[in-house]
């Protein structure tokens, strides 16, 4: 809201006016007076870039910590990298907010109601362009406001972003206007907000998704292996044995407590499953406990110059055979591949330490008896479209495996878990999350936490979930709000330019 007010706070007169305006259109007191001609575009550019950069520095600051600790990068270089990354992410929002400033210039205070379109257009573009980075969309701020968050089952997280931006635009409008127009704006926003919250409350209270489907008890393994030990396991047989035996012992324990399907975290074994004799121990374990096991492991294909490495998830059947292999599609920039590698000479210590992973190209279903589940590896779960694709392919249960041990005690594991919860609401599915150092847990189809672990604890969780087959409206229509908003952001400047007189 302060950014929107800033857009309306300084105007520069134009000689030409696009359309006739009502006198006093932006006068907070409502007194008749001359109408300014337009918003200072340069001011809007600077304010939106500064606001966006500050926001992303405050939310993805932990990327700097990671490259300092694990990439041997000087603190100054890491700090510059975080600022540059934040500025890059902010540019997507600058695009939408600049268009918003032009609309305000034409329509006055009423143009503030274009802000939800401008914001969501930029946010959606950030999530899809160049692989996308849809980290912490505005709508995710409502994931724990459960009655409001149910809107995601209709319009997805971008619909929630539009709602939050609309309420803030209304507040800004109310501060700039007085009289009947202010009352109408506030009353309309109140009806929209309380109408959505009322419907969401009834949806949760109905709870029909909690009674549908087939139940299954899932075991979640959180072995709490520190990242330094995982990195050392390649050359330290003692560490590798400790990691492997911990997962095996915890699996036996959760099966004794009733688990019918066991999930290990991302990269949970210190070797390549298909290329190491120890892989047979996992097959033997599955035959011993007679339950399917899902676990993360690197997969290598080809030889020599044709070698490809994938971050993969394997499912082993109760008879020990491989049921499915899913290869991670959305790779982490500077974590699993280095974009523009040859241009980043100033980050050479970090760049040279990485062997780029290859990206998978298809969603894969995981057969669990007569049912189907799906998984998302690490930050893939923040992509609404990927999880929606899985549901539309027949996934009845969402799972996600991750290793957030890279991020220490920062806010990253908490942010990651909160974004995963949104996928449950969007798709009307249970979501099971196994994280090496936490947060692991189970989320129900309404976004409620059934069980949640603490970070940096060794724990095996066993919880009942349900295979569900119904599809939400969002699962059927997808990110319509995002596409429409982006289209309007791109078309509005053309409309404004054609409408000049």
pLDDT tens figures, 272-290: 999 999 999 999 999 999 9
Reported confidence tier of residue 354, pLDDT bands at 50, 70, 90: low
Residue 20 has pLDDT above 80, yes or no: no
Which range among 264-273, 295-304, 488-497 has the greatest average pLDDT? 264-273
pLDDT at 9 over 60: no
Distance of alpha carbon 315 from alpha carbon 322, whole angstroms: 6
When mean pLDDT is compared across 12-16, 91-95, 191-195, 223-227, the lowest value belongs to: 12-16
Q: 123, 230, 266, 315: which is the annotated catalytic residue? A: 266
Which residues, at least 6 apart from 236, have a Cβ–Cβ distance to it below 8 Å?
A: none
Task: Answer yes or no: 328 catalytic.
Answer: yes
Considering the chain, what is the average pLDDT of its residues? 88
Tally of CA atoms within 13 A in the half-sphere of 216 that contains its CB: 25
Active site residue 46: no
Q: How far apart are CA 347 and CA 350, in angstroms?
A: 6
93-123 confidence digits (pLDDT tens): 999 999 999 999 888 899 999 999 999 999 9
pLDDT of 145 reads: 97
DSSP notation for 337-399: B-TTGGG-GGGHHHHTT--PPPPP-S---EEETTEEEEEEEGGGGG-HHHHHHHHHTT-SSEE
| Top CATH class, 215-469 | alpha beta
Considering the entire predicted model, what is its pTM? 0.88
**332: Cα within 13 Å, side-chain hemisphere:** 20
Q: Tokens representing 175? A: 């501060």
Cα 158 to Cα 156: distance, rounded to the nearest angstrom: 5
Q: What percent of the chain has pLDDT over 90?
A: 69
Please check whether residue 4 is in contact with residue 32, taking contact to mean a CB–CB distance below 8 angstroms: no
Nearest Cα to 111, choosing from 446, 378, 492?
A: 492
How much is the CA Rg of the chain, to the nearest whole Å?
25
Cα–Cα dist 122/91, whole Å = 8
Q: Dihedral sign, CA of 328, 332, 334, 339? A: positive
Indicate the pLDDT class of residue 130, thresholds 50, 70 and 90: confident
Q: Which helix (H) or strand (E) holds 280?
A: helix 279-289
Contact 441, 413 (CB under 8 A): no
Which of 7-11, 122-126, 328-332, 441-445 comes out lowest in average pLDDT? 7-11
What's the pLDDT score for residue 344? 55
**Choice among 230-234, 338-342, 436-440, 470-474 with the minimum mean pLDDT:** 338-342
Given the DSSP bridges, would you call strands 371-377 and 398-402 parallel, antiparallel or unpaired? Answer: parallel
Q: Higher pLDDT residue, 252 or 44?
A: 252
**307 HSE (CA, 13 A, CB side):** 10
Residue 338 has pLDDT above 90, yes or no: no
The rounded distance, in Å, linking the Cα atoms of 50 and 73 is 26
Q: Which of 378, 421, 427, 463 is catalytic?
A: 378
Mean pLDDT of 23-36: 40
Query: Would you state the torsion angle of the CA atoms of residues 287, 249, 254, 423, taken in this order, to the nearest 10 degrees?
Result: -90
How is the beta sheet containing 293-301 ordered, strand by strand? 322-327, 308-316, 293-301, 261-263, 214-222, 459-467
pLDDT for residue 21: 42
CA distance linking residue 443 with residue 305, whole number of Å: 43
What H or E segment, with its residue span, contains residue 480? helix 480-498
> At a CB cut-off of 8 Å and minimum separation 6, what does 399 contact?
263, 294, 366, 373, 374, 375, 376, 431, 432, 433, 434
Sign for the pseudo-dihedral over CA of 193, 197, 203, 206: negative
Residue 150, φ and ψ in degrees, nearest 5: -65, -20
Determine which one of 328, 418, 426, 463 is catalytic. 328
Domain boundaries, the chain: 2-207+480-498, 215-469
Higher pLDDT pick, 283 / 333: 283
C-beta of residue 208 within 8 angstroms of C-beta of residue 185: no
pLDDT in tens, 406-418: 898 999 999 999 9
Q: What is the pLDDT of residue 343?
A: 56
What ranges make up the beta strands (E) of 114-244? 214-222
Catalytic annotation present for 378? yes
List of E strands, 67-145: none
337 confidence band (pLDDT: 50, 70, 90): low
DSSP state of 131: G
Once rounded to an integer, what is the mean pLDDT over residues 462-482?
97
Highest mean pLDDT pick, 33-37, 40-44, 192-196: 192-196
Per-residue pLDDT band at 333 (split at 50, 70, 90): confident
Determine the average pLDDT of the residues in 40-64.
90
pLDDT-derived band at 349, boundaries 50, 70, 90: low
Q: How confident is the model at residue 15 (pLDDT cuts 50, 70, 90)?
A: very low
């Amino acid at each position: 809201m302060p950014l929107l007010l800033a857009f309306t706070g300084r105007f520069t007169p134009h000689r030409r006016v696009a359309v006739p305006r009502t006198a006093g259109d932006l006068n907070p007191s409502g007194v008749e007076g001359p109408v300014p001609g337009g918003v200072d575009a340069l001011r809007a550019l600077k304010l939106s870039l500064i606001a966006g950069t500050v926001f992303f520095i405050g939310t993805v600051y932990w990327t700097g910590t990671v490259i300092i600790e694990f990439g041997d990068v000087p603190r100054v270089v890491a700090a510059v990298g975080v600022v540059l990354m934040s500025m890059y992410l902010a540019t997507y929002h600058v695009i939408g907010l600049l268009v918003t400033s032009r609309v305000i210039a034409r329509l006055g205070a009423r143009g503030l109601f274009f802000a939800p379109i401008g914001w969501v257009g930029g946010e959606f573009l950030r999530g899809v362009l160049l692989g996308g980075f849809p980290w912490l969309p505005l709508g995710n701020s409502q994931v724990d406001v459960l009655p409001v968050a149910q809107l995601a089952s209709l319009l997805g997280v971008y619909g929630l972003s539009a709602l939050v931006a609309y309420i803030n635009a209304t507040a800004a409008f109310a501060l700039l206007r007085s009289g009947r127009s202010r009352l109408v704006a506030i009353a309309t926003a109140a009806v929209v907000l309380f109408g959505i919250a009322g419907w969401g409350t009834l949806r949760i209270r109905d709870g029909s998704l909690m009674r549908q489907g087939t139940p299954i008890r899932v075991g979640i393994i959180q072995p709490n292996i520190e990242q330094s030990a995982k990195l050392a396991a390649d050359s330290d047989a003692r560490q590798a044995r400790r990691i492997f035996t911990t997962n095996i012992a915890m699996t036996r324990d959760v099966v004794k407590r009733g688990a019918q399907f066991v999930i290990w975290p991302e990269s949970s074994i210190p070797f390549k499953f298909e290329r190491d004799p120890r892989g047979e121990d996992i097959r033997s374990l599955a035959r011993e406990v007679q339950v399917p096991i899902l676990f993360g492991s690197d997969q290598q294909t080809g030889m020599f110059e044709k070698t490809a490495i994938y971050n993969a998830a394997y499912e082993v059947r109760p008879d020990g055979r491989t049921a499915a292999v899913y290869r991670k599609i959305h790779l982490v920039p500077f974590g699993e591949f280095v974009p523009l590698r040859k241009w980043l000479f100033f980050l050479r210590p970090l760049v040279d330490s990485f062997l780029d992973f290859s990206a998978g190209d298809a969603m894969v279903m995981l057969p669990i008896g007569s049912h189907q589940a799906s998984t998302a590896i690490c930050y893939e779960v923040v992509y609404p479209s990927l999880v929606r694709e899985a549901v539309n392919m027949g996934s009845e249960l969402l799972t996600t495996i991750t290793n957030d041990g890279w991020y220490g005690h920062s806010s990253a594991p908490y942010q990651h878990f909160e974004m995963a919860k949104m996928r449950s609401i969007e798709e009307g599915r249970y979501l099971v999350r196994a994280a090496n150092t936490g947060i692991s847990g189970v989320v129900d189809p309404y976004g409620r936490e059934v069980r949640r672990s603490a970070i940096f604890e060794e724990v095996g969780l066993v919880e009942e979930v349900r295979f569900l087959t119904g599809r939400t409206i969002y699962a059927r229509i997808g990110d319509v709000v995002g596409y429409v908003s982006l289209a309007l952001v791109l078309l509005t400047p053309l409309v404004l330019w054609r409408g000049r007189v």
